[in-house]
Homo-oligomer: A and B are copies of this chain.
Amino acid sequence: MADDRFHVYDTTLRDGAQQEGLNLTVVDKLSIARHLDGLGVGFIEGGWPGANPKDTEFFRRARTELDLKHAQLAAFGATRRAGMKAADDPLVAALRESGAPVVTLVAKSHDRHVELALRTTLDENLAMIRDTVSHLRAEGQRVFLDAEHFFDGYKSNPAYALEVVRTAAEAGADVIALCDTNGGMLPDELAEVVLAATGTSARVGIHCHDDTGCAVANTLAAVRAGATHVQGCANGYGERSGNANLFTVVANLQLKRGFDLVPQESLADMTRIAHAITEVTNVTPNSHQPYVGVSAFAHKAGLHASAIKVDPNLYQHIDPAQVGNDMRMLVSDMAGRASVELKGRELGYELNAVESRELVDRVKELESRGYTFEAADASFELLLKDTLGGRRRHFTVESWRTIVERLPTGEVVSEATVKLHAKGERIVATGEGNGPVNALDRAVRMALEKLYPELAKLALTDFKVRILEGHQGTDAITRVLITSSDGAGEWATVGVGENLIQASWQALEEAVTYGLLRAGREPD
């Protein structure tokens, strides 16, 4: 569980989700939480139960579906409303009932915000903080406080801003996170204010936004000034210019400042985790992202290749393997041999040097064409089987066709016909569905169900589409990720093509093949 010497606190699921264009379902949030836990962060802020029904559901499902190894969940919420008892406020109750071991309360620390936004008195705001912190502490939860607009508040009324810190600390808050909510601070000035806020019984934390392009540096400056709790978001997600990029912060502190924040082997998985999260958020990864971007260690031609051979460290600020990234001299590829070997081992295959090199080459070639295996384990395993011994097929395709039609009545109908060969038979089957892919899915399962009755249990549970920009004048290509289930487990497959349906078919074909292998069906 969380190491309490220094807090790495992620707020992707709450503040990161404020990013324009980011919309997370409950399942997305659960999946991101698992990735963050895999990285080894100490705290994961899950959302605002009570205020947002989706977040209430997240905490409910998290109790049974999340098995966190490192992280503790934090529920975010406001202090009690003015003129109400904390115990009576239904929003406070929702925090209590979230089941989260930690509650992070947001409180105003800027006098003008108290008066203009909260519309209450400065004293009542302090009472709201005191009551809510004490109440939740008494009920057995650990309480952190996000002091909103702290830096602007300090400029406006330093005595009041510090009084907020003191009040929360005295009421029993463990952490007072100073928030640069509007993101306008620069490191030197920020550090001075952080220093002024230390000295209570509570730990000082820092929460920065990137409006001046200094969120990471501001976070580091705060740590230097005494903060031992850093907040940030995966991939720098967040409103406006984003929150402090938690991955950059952790890598800087651990690799350049000697902090021991996450396990070394998790840090070496950071690049994969960063990209896996982009698959969930469906936000195009930032290729320039420090440490984990595909370009972060990419060198354009013109560099002294011989000098790089003599000592690559002359041309890179860290060994990219420390964060699971690679130096690249050319465009494309994410996978290194080590990660492919690791992945193979994870799936139960021991690859020799020749096999793993061949697999890396195939992965790189496919990734350059738009495939991704981060989020498509089943496709990766099929590729691995291909590499090891030539994958045989359960069935082959003669042709397929799908029709979607909007009738003059307004009704929309979809059907698909597939012509397959399996076990020496030619099979023609037609399926209807609520879309072309669903219809194809039903058609292929109808075609094969007589030969493989276990396909009746198979269901397509998720379907994601991403349009990838064309390279060097080629057309854009479509990438489809399909998640399938047989009731006992889930697996994901990937397809890529110019045509959405073609890409979907490819992912579907692999999904069915993988489902049959899971059921113990060896191909003919």
Contacts and interface: CB of A to CB of B under 8 A. Distances in A.
B23 A372 contact: yes
Interface in A192-239: 210-218, 220-221, 224, 236, 239
A513 interface: no
A498 B149 CA distance: 43
Contacts of A402: 403-405
A469 B25 contact: yes
A317 B217 contact: no
A186 to B, nearest CB: 6
A290 B213 contact: yes
A392 B6 CA distance: 60
A49 interface: no
Contact of A288 (B242, B400, B467): B242
Contacts of A287: 20
Most B CB within 10 A of own CB, among A21, A282, A465, A466 = A21
A310 B118 CA distance: 11
Contact of A297 (B112, B210, B240, B435): B240
Contacts of A423: none
A290 B212 contact: yes
A143 to B, nearest CB: 20
A113 interface: yes
A326 to B, nearest CB: 12
Contact of A240 (B256, B257, B296, B372): B296
A182 interface: yes
A306 B19 CA distance: 19
A113 B307 CA distance: 8
B414 A499 contact: yes
A295 B18 CA distance: 11
Interface stretch (A169-177, A381-389, A449-457, A500-508): A500-508
Interface residues of A, number: 115
Given A256-B186, A404-B436, A212 B311 contact: no
Contacts of A345: none
Contacts of A478: 435, 463
A242 to B, nearest CB: 5
A441 to B, nearest CB: 12
Contacts of A436: 404, 436, 500-501
A66 interface: no
Nearest to A408: B399
A466 B464 contact: yes
Nearest to A311: B116
Contacts of A293: 241
A290 B210 contact: yes
A462 B406 CA distance: 23
Contacts of A260: none
A159 interface: no
Contact of A414 (B214, B400, B501): B501
A334 interface: yes
Given A314-B113, A314-B116, A499-B434, A469 B27 contact: yes
Interface string A251-263: 1100011000000
Given A315-B182, A406-B505, A330 B217 contact: no
A398 B408 contact: yes
21 contacts: A21-B331, A52-B333, A113-B307, A116-B310, A184-B317, A210-B290, A211-B317, A212-B248, A212-B251, A239-B295, A240-B288, A240-B298, A240-B299, A241-B290, A282-B464, A284-B469, A401-B403, A404-B502, A412-B502, A435-B478, A436-B501
Given A214-B214, A399-B405, 12 more contacts: A19-B300, A20-B374, A26-B469, A116-B314, A186-B220, A212-B256, A213-B252, A239-B299, A284-B469, A399-B408, A435-B478, A435-B498
Complex A-B, nearest 3 residue pairs according to Cβ-Cβ distance, in ascending order: A184-B317, A217-B217, A465-B465
